[in-house]
């Protein structure tokens, strides 16, 4: 009781001299003076653009019209079932209220709203008074109450209560003025509300675009959902956002991403049966749920440590089928409206598309990974087989070659022919094994190059010595003196040249001359050309020559064996040397394969030569 008296005194003491003077002015000039004042105030503050604007008007001007110690405004929600209160002045005692959100069945503000009528009462007398609001007012020393509805035509938007510490303070005249004020405020608030809604809608559209832009470029599903939850929560300033996806068998929702204040509450991967909770209902029915007071929603599951009051859940659909839900929660009652629902529905449409893209990408990646794995295994196998092939083949070739040189054998024509056959076929097999090994090494990035000074003259001789010319074939070569040395990998360049020379012979079935020319190409490059007088290549086929396994299928090439690997390998080797390879050809006349190599730098030569001398 002592406390109450003190507070009561506090309010009386807080009145300024100016306020008291104003009070007496009001009393003197009567209704006409007050209506004039009302007109002056309302025409000055016309066009308030937000709730706060309207409340400011009330705060700064209303006291000049109606004397009060406390003014409380109750603003109705869209559903007209509850109201939120604002107090003027925002007394700390009033903000001690355990809540600021009430049903229209509660309190004097609720009574005025429900009955759409004015009221002049003593706080201790009427049956309409209830503890949550009036109890507090009583604590503050309020005794007289004046309540009026805030109405625009037929629509009620809230109620307005004035409280005074003086007993039996308010008159019928005060009620008339307060009713005018209620009408004015209701109209302003309605205008402010639609203005605010429109502004919110516009800014939401811009924000939706911003979030959608972020999502459209994401292909990793985990990242996508995480970024989506985070972007939606931060951009729209929601209290808590979760994204849950349906399990394969559609019996459970799995928590995939979380952002906000409850983030530590449910673990990643948390599962909830679809027959439970608001989220389960949304997943099974494919419709959104907007619950601004979850305690009134029987579908809501109460969590012990969760103080959710409002929940908005929207389905994420793909081709009309629910794949998951987006869930937004708040610890305030009536935290969401239809604009929030519209925003989340638009975002979920986008999220559905983005999830689909990410899933497709993931399937592709998995398939690719399998293929890469298979390809690796195949390469390893081929590499191993071709490697193991070569040593027995070398022994066979060596044995057959030495037998061929044997005088006794040379005298037996049949034996000589057979042996030659063994050497030729073993050579072919050897080339195939060598090509396969090169391919697997190139593809797995394991082909190493050992660069040193290469003498082109020697290189040509080495390569040619490994190609068998028939009596119909002639060979000649020329190396210009200023193109005699280059830096390169001797073995691989030999392999390249050998491939080109053996092709020149192979694709000249009627014989002819094969020539190699090595000359300067530019100040930095030399060019080596391998020409033949064989079948040639038609211009439209030239493009595919250097591709793997590509062979040109014509009547003339039908009988010529090959795997279509040689030129691909040549190109890889030449490119690794920083050069280019191409062909100039005329069908029926012959072909010239040309490749460039970088000229040796003067300084490179000097250093390496001195090394050679030392050796
Ligand atoms: P392979 O000779 O084993 O088939 P290559 O990669 O060495 O594989 O050659 C690819 C194709 O290019 C050959 O199948 C052939 O049709 C054509 N080709 C290569 N060299 C010549 C050439 N000197 N004259 C005509 N055609 C050629």
Give me ligand 1 centre to Cα 480, in Å. Answer: 27
Structural domain count of the chain: 3
Does residue 440 lie within any of the structural domains? no
| pLDDT number for residue 487 | 93
- 232 plus 358 within the same structural domain: yes
Does residue 305 lie within any of the structural domains? yes
**Which of 105-114, 162-171, 187-196, 369-378 has the least mean pLDDT?**
187-196
- 154 plus 27 within the same structural domain: yes
Give me ligand 1 centre to Cα 579, in Å. Answer: 20
Q: Which of 466, 585, 497 is nearest to 533 (CA)?
A: 585
Backbone angles phi, psi at 275, to 5 degrees: -90, 10
- 142 plus 15 within the same structural domain: yes
- Of 567, 569, 594, the one to substitute when testing ligand 1's pocket (max ligand atoms within 8 A of C-beta) is 567
Q: Which atom of ligand 1 is nearest to the CA of 565?
A: 6
Is the beta carbon of 507 within 6 A of some atom in ligand 1? yes
Half-sphere exposure of residue 324, counting CA atoms within 13 Å on the CB side?
Answer: 25
Is the beta carbon of 500 within 6 A of some atom in ligand 1? no
Length of the chain: 615
CB burial of 485-496 (b: ≥16 within 10 Å; e: otherwise) equals: bbbbbbebbbbb
Burial class (CB in 10 A: 0-12, 13-18, 19+), 315: buried
Instruction: Output the domain CATH number for residue 582.
Output: 3.30.565.10
Question: What is the mean predicted confidence (pLDDT) over 2-27?
Answer: 49
Is the beta carbon of 545 within 6 A of some atom in ligand 1? yes
Does residue 521 lie within any of the structural domains? yes
Per-residue pLDDT at 355 exceeds 50: yes
Atom 8, ligand 1: residue with shortest CA distance: 564
Does residue 418 lie within any of the structural domains? no
Per-residue pLDDT at 94 exceeds 80: no
Give me ligand 1 centre to Cα 221, in Å. Answer: 47
Per-residue pLDDT at 504 exceeds 70: yes
- 143 plus 64 within the same structural domain: yes
| pLDDT number for residue 613 | 28
Q: Which atom of ligand 1 is nearest to the CA of 590?
A: 24
Q: Which atom of ligand 1 is nearest to the CA of 593?
A: 23
Per-residue pLDDT at 366 exceeds 70: yes
Q: Mind listing the pLDDT tens digit for each residue in 430-442?
A: 888 888 888 888 8
Give me ligand 1 centre to Cα 321, in Å. Answer: 55
Residue 195 structure tokens: 């203005």
Is the beta carbon of 562 within 6 A of some atom in ligand 1? yes
Residue 571: pLDDT band by 50, 70, 90 thresholds? very high
Is the beta carbon of 537 within 6 A of some atom in ligand 1? yes
Residue 268 structure tokens: 């990643």
- 208 plus 191 within the same structural domain: no
- 456 plus 536 within the same structural domain: yes
Per-residue pLDDT at 128 exceeds 60: no
Per-residue pLDDT at 580 exceeds 70: yes
Residues 263 and 306: beta-carbon distance below 8 Å: no
- 501 plus 595 within the same structural domain: yes
Give me ligand 1 centre to Cα 583, in Å. Answer: 11
| pLDDT number for residue 427 | 84
Give me ligand 1 centre to Cα 397, in Å. Answer: 25
Does the reported pTM lie above 0.85? no
CA distance 460 to 488: 14
Q: Mind listing the pLDDT tens digit for each residue in 212-225?
A: 887 777 778 888 89
Q: Of 364, 397, 422, which residue is a domain's last?
A: 364
Atom 2, ligand 1: residue with shortest CA distance: 562
Is the beta carbon of 591 within 6 A of some atom in ligand 1? yes
Residue 503: pLDDT band by 50, 70, 90 thresholds? very high
Residue 104: pLDDT band by 50, 70, 90 thresholds? confident
Is the beta carbon of 350 within 6 A of some atom in ligand 1? no
Choice between 38 and 288, residue whose per-residue pLDDT is larger? 288
Q: Which of 53, 84, 177 is nearest to 162 (CA)?
A: 177
Give me ligand 1 centre to Cα 390, in Å. Answer: 23
Q: Which atom of ligand 1 is nearest to the CA of 508?
A: 24
| pLDDT number for residue 170 | 93
- Of 545, 549, 550, 571, the one to substitute when testing ligand 1's pocket (max ligand atoms within 8 A of C-beta) is 545
Does residue 573 lie within any of the structural domains? yes
- 191 plus 207 within the same structural domain: no
Give me ligand 1 centre to Cα 175, in Å. Answer: 106
- Of 508, 551, 584, the one to substitute when testing ligand 1's pocket (max ligand atoms within 8 A of C-beta) is 551
- 176 plus 205 within the same structural domain: no
CA 129 from centroid of its chain's CA atoms: 56
CA distance 500 to 532: 10
Residues 535 and 553: beta-carbon distance below 8 Å: no
Is the beta carbon of 564 within 6 A of some atom in ligand 1? yes
Per-residue pLDDT at 12 exceeds 70: no
Q: Of 364, 384, 403, which residue is a domain's last?
A: 364
Domain that holds residue 587: 445-611
- Of 564, 583, 584, 586, the one to substitute when testing ligand 1's pocket (max ligand atoms within 8 A of C-beta) is 564
- 160 plus 298 within the same structural domain: no
Is the beta carbon of 565 within 6 A of some atom in ligand 1? yes
**Which of 51-60, 360-369, 552-561 has the least mean pLDDT?**
51-60
Q: Which atom of ligand 1 is nearest to the CA of 554?
A: 16
Does residue 333 lie within any of the structural domains? yes
Instruction: Output the domain CATH number for residue 312.
Output: 3.30.450.40
Is the beta carbon of 551 within 6 A of some atom in ligand 1? yes
CA 218 from centroid of its chain's CA atoms: 2
Give me ligand 1 centre to Cα 276, in Å. Answer: 70
Q: Of 364, 387, 419, which residue is a domain's last?
A: 364
- 77 plus 159 within the same structural domain: yes
């Amino acid at each position: 009781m002592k406390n109450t008296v003190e507070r009561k005194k506090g309010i009386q003491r807080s009145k300024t001299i100016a306020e008291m003077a104003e009070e007496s002015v009001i009393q003197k000039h009567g209704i006409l003076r007050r209506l004039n004042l009302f007109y002056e105030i309302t025409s000055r503050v016309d066009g308030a653009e937000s709730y706060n604007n309207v409340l400011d008007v009330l705060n700064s001007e209303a006291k000049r019209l109606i004397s009060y110690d406390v003014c409380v405004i109750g603003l109705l929600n869209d559903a007209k079932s509850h109201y939120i209160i604002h107090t003027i002045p925002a007394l700390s005692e009033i903000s001690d209220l355990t809540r600021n959100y009430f049903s229209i069945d509660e309190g004097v503000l609720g009574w005025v709203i429900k009955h759409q009528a004015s009221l002049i009462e003593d706080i201790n007398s009427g049956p309409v008074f209830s503890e949550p609001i009036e109890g507090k007012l009583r604590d503050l020393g309020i005794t007289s109450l004046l309540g009026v509805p805030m109405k625009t035509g037929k629509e009620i938007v809230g109620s307005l209560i004035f409280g005074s510490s003086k007993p039996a303070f308010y008159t019928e005249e005060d009620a008339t003025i307060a009713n005018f004020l209620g009408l004015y405020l209701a109209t302003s608030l309605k205008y402010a509300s639609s203005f605010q809604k429109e502004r919110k809608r516009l800014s939401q559209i811009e924000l939706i675009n911003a979030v959608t832009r972020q999502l459209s470029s994401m292909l990793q599903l985990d990242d996508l959902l995480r970024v989506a939850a985070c972007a939606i929560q931060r951009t729209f300033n929601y209290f808590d956002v979760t994204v849950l996806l349906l399990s394969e068998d559609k019996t459970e929702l799995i928590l995939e991403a979380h952002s906000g204040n409850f983030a530590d509450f449910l673990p990643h991967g948390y599962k909830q049966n679809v027959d439970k909770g608001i989220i389960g209902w949304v997943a099974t029915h494919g419709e959104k749920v907007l619950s601004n007071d979850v305690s009134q929603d029987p579908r809501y599951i109460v969590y012990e440590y969760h103080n959710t009051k409002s929940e908005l859940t929207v389905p994420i659909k793909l081709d009309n089928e629910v794949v998951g839900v987006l869930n937004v929660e708040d610890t305030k009652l009536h935290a969401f409206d239809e604009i929030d629902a519209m925003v989340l529905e638009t975002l979920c449409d986008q999220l559905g598309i983005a999830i689909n893209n990410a899933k497709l990408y993931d399937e592709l990646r998995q398939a690719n990974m399998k293929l890469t794995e298979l390809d690796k295994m195949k390469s390893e196998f081929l590499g191993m087989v071709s490697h193991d092939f070569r040593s027995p083949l070398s022994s066979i070739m060596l044995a057959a070659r030495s037998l061929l040189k044997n005088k006794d054998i040379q005298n037996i024509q049949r034996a000589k022919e057979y042996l030659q056959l063994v050497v030729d076929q073993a050579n072919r097999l050897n080339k195939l094994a060598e090509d396969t090994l090169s391919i697997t090494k190139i593809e797995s990035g394991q082909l190493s190059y050992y660069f040193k000074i290469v003498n082109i003259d020697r290189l040509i001789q080495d390569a040619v010595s490994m190609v068998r010319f028939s009596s119909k074939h002639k060979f000649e070569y020329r190396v210009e003196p200023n193109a005699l040395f280059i830096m390169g990998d001797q073995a691989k360049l030999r392999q390249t040249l050998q491939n080109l020379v053996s092709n020149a012979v192979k694709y000249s079935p009627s014989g002819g001359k094969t020539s190699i020319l090595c000359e300067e190409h530019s100040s930095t490059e030399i060019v080596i050309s391998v020409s033949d007088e064989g079948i040639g290549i038609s211009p439209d086929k030239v493009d595919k020559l250097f591709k793997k396994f590509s062979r040109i299928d014509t009547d003339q090439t039908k009988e010529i064996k090959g795997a279509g690997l040689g030129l691909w390998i040549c190109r890889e080797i030449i490119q690794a040397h920083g050069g280019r390879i191409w062909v100039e050809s005329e069908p029926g006349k012959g072909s010239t394969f040309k490749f460039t190599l970088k000229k040796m730098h003067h300084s490179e030569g000097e250093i390496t030569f001195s090394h050679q001398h030392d050796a």
